Structure 1
């Protein structure tokens, strides 16, 4: 720098710089999740136990003379 009166100062300008100030504001955005429910039906075996009963009369010893062995009575007849 000189103190010469004939040297006047002047201004030199750089090209302007742009400075951004960003402001963010919340914005609601719905995100939709679709769910499909499938009801599946299955047949499952459930065992139901059924019992049948048969009754038979067995005569042992000398009941009918000399006939030994197994004798059964049919459902419609009765032995005396």
Structure 2
């Protein structure tokens, strides 16, 4: 049996693996303007707008004992508004 004390003392040495790179990333704010372009297109269209107009006619119907009247059921005697105003 051989004891450790009987062996010569070996010198220690170091063996190095190839270096590994470790990154420590630090982030700092950087102002960056992002410009969003908007184009406005004005489209013009024709839209019908109805203006209702009324044409009025006036009719006088003579019923009863008027001279020349033939009753409400028969002939109608008409006169315009202008003729009545004179």
Offset of 1:21 from its aligned partner?
1.5
Partner residue in 1 for 2:51: 48
Bigger fraction of residues in helix: 2
Partner residue in 2 for 1:72: 78
TM-score for the superposition, normalised by structure 1: 0.62
SS at 1:43's partner residue? coil
Point out where structure 2 has 5 or more consecutive residues left out of the alignment.
none
CA contact (8 A) 2:58 2:81 kept: no
Residues 1:48 and 1:74: Cα distance change in structure 2 (over 3 Å): closer
Is 1:21–2:24 an aligned residue pair? yes
Question: Which runs of structure 1 show a deviation greater than 6 angstroms over 4 or more consecutive aligned residues?
Answer: none
TM-score (norm 2): 0.59
Which of residues 2, 7, 11 is equivalent to 1:8?
Answer: 11
Unaligned stretches of 5+ residues in structure 1:
none
Flag the 1:75–1:9 CA change in 2: closer, same or farther, 3 A: closer
Distance 1:7 1:38, change over 3 A: same
Relative to structure 1, the CA distance from residue 22 to residue 55 in structure 2 (aligned partners, 3 Å threshold; closer, same or farther) is same
